[in-house]
Every structure is written in C-alpha cells, then in structure tokens.
Amino acid sequence: MRTNVPGVRTLVLILALTLSTLRSFSQSISTGNGKVEIGLGIGPLIFLGDLGGNYGKGTRFVKDINFSTINLAKGIFVNVYPEEWIGFRVAINQGRLEGYDSVVHNKGGDEYFREKRNLQFQSPLLEAYAALEIYPTVFMERYDGLQGKLRPYGVIGFGAFKFNPKGKYYDPFGRATWVDLKPLRLEGQGMAEYPDRKEYKLMSWEIPIGGGVKYYVKENFYVGMEIMHRKSFTDYVDDVSTTYIDNALFANYLTPEQAAMANQLYFREGFKPGGSSNRVPPDGEQRGNPKQNDSFFSTILKLGWRLNDSNSPNGRAARQMRCPSFY
C-alpha cells in the first residue's frame, strides 16, 4: 500500500524548522550548564473518535476508553531551558490508532447504535510538535542541585500528525486484507453529488496539552510520567464523520475492485466474513458525528538526560537556582 510521502516530508520539515529555531535560540545557552535535555518516551496511546468506545453516548475523553484498543506510543524529545522554570520542547512520536464498534460494551443504552454499526479502522500515527513547559514549583525549591527533586509541570504546544485509516476487507475467497479507506470515498468525499464533502488530507494540525511530573534520580538523569491530550482539526482519522451515501455511486467513481471494497466497508451492519449486510442504509442515515473532531491521548513514561557532566565545575547543579528559601 502506498503512503502519503508529502505528509511525511511535511512532518520532517516542521521538525527541522523547529529544531533550527531552538538551535538558534540556544546558541547563547551553554550545554555545559546542562540547559539541554534529551530523552525517550513510551506508553499507552488511546484513540477517541466515532468508532469504538465504551457504554453510553460517545465522548472524547476518559469515559470512552476501551482498553482492548490501546497501543504503545514511542518517541524522542529535546528540551531547552532558558531558565529552570520554563522549557521549550520539540518531539516526534509514532504509534497506531484503532477503533472497533464490535468491542463496545453494550449495556442496552445509547451504545447499541455503535455496536450495531459494526465499523472498524486502524491507522499508523506519526506526529511532530513544539511545546512550552512550565515548572511552577521551582520557585519553592530550597536547595541547590537536582538530585532527589520532584518537579510537576504543565505543557501546551502546536504540531502536526500524519495518519492513514485502513479497514479490513474480505475478498470473495474469504481472505482478509487491510486496505486504505480514503481512496474509497466511503462518505462521498469528492463526489459531485455531495459538493459539501471535500476529500480530506492525511495530515492534520494538532494542539497537544497536558501535564506530568519528573523525578531526578541523579543530577543529569530523571524519570517521569506525562499525560498528553491532542486536539485535532480533522474528523476523519477513523474515516467516519457524517452520513451514509447512495452506494450506487461507487461504480461511477471507483474501479470495479475498489467499488467492491467500498460496498462492503461503508456499511457493515450484520456483516459476516463471506457474506453481506442484510439491508442497504438509506442515503442520509447517520454514520458518524460531524460535530466533534477526533482526538487521542497518551500516558508516557519518560527517561531524560541533561547533556554534559552536571557535576563538573561548570555544571548546572553547581550553581543553579539561587531562589528564595521558605521556612
């Protein structure tokens, strides 16, 4: 399957420009003073969108988590600190987002519609962002040095992420294949009959926002935990947003092979491998919720290092934070 190369190039360009900006900004900051940190992160990645979820009405945060669809996010980051209480971060992460209506916890309430809809998706994720970190407790610290310090912080930023939703298609012989959903125009994107439904892009801007805590095991090494929510500007991470269309149009815009895929994947109520759905939805019947964009969040375990020897005569720990003491 082809990937969206321009999307990858855009993400790389954003990261390169951000790194270049921080490099210029930090030229006056000596890495020997330990004002630069690098690190790794890994932890659960959770999708919040139209597909899958928990019981009740679909939401966009913790209540709608379905643990069977959690995947791991992995990433790297660089932090620059002009002062101890404020930091600038650039990061790049990757993972996988997914959602399945079939795993919704059906208790006979509003979640019944989602389980009956029976749609599904998987998508690779690649994101890059720049963010501002604020450490409010630095001003209350009494002692020099970082070792043994616990530092909570808040973070907010701006970035972009690349995605590519796929659905599981069963061919006439019962063989399953994950196929790209965007080219199939399952909700009429780019069709003249639906002029308000433009083809979506496989990259979206995002606003990451969250918080965490660091614990400095040594002067130049810490472990941390961070929860980060991403507000996106697209409702098509899962390829579901609005209403069903007239499926007869697939033959007008797609190849015969694509039309067969589209007819199976756009509507899966009652579908079983090797068979077909027992009804065709009327044009305009609700498929998703266009009033809320998709989002995702992560809970990341972080390992970070301050560059150079912080215990050297020029090290940061030797002369950091001459802040007021509180008794």
CA distances to 43, 134, 212, 321 from 83, rounded to whole Å, are 28, 10, 18, 9
Closest CA to 226 of 1, 44, 68: 44
pLDDT digits (tens, 9 = 90+) for 186-231: 999 999 999 999 999 999 999 999 999 999 999 999 999 999 999 9
Q: Give the up-direction half-sphere exposure of residue 38: CA atoms within 13 A in the CB hemisphere.
A: 4
Per-residue pLDDT at 73: 96
β-strands 203-218, 176-180 pairing: unpaired
Closest-CA residue to 41 (of 303, 307, 220, 217): 303
pLDDT at 42: 97
Domains and CATH numbers, the chain: 1-26+35-163+202-239+291-327 (2.40.160.20), 165-200+244-285 (no CATH)
Which pLDDT value is given to residue 276?
Answer: 64
Tens of pLDDT along the chain (327 residues) come to: 334 434 556 555 655 555 554 454 444 343 445 689 999 999 999 998 888 766 555 555 565 676 678 899 999 999 999 999 999 999 999 999 999 988 876 666 666 787 888 999 999 999 999 999 999 999 988 767 888 899 999 999 999 999 999 999 999 888 999 999 999 999 999 999 999 999 999 999 999 999 999 999 999 999 999 999 999 999 999 999 999 999 999 999 999 999 999 999 999 998 888 766 667 888 999 999 898 899 999 999 999 999 874 444 444 444 444 343 333
